[in-house]
Amino acid sequence: CRTIIASKCHNLGYEFLCQLLQPVCYLENMVLPCRDFCIEFTENCQEYIPNEIKAQLDCDKLATEADGPSACISKPG
């Protein structure tokens, strides 16, 4: 993760990785980053993400803001 953050491939890379690795819990559910945030992050940081993480990082499985309140964490700002 340090390599990804140090690369500055995405200005919110630290926030995304923290949300992914240490998700917020709300009403006994894990709340992960929203799909759009994931797609943006992976497109910008593709070359810095290790293959073993790429294999497990499937943005299509993440919720969207349209899925309702508390379904996912939107990109800050």
Rounded to two decimals, what is the model's pTM? 0.89
For residue 65, give the DSSP letter. G
Q: Measure the CA–CA gap between 49 and 25, rounded to whole angstroms.
A: 25
Q: Do 21 and 57 touch, CB atoms closer than 8 A?
A: no
Query: Tens digits of per-residue pLDDT, 29-64?
Result: 899 999 999 999 999 999 999 988 888 899 999 999
CA angle 5, 41, 53 (to 5 degrees): 75
Angle of helix 35-45 relative to helix 13-21, nearest 10 degrees? 120
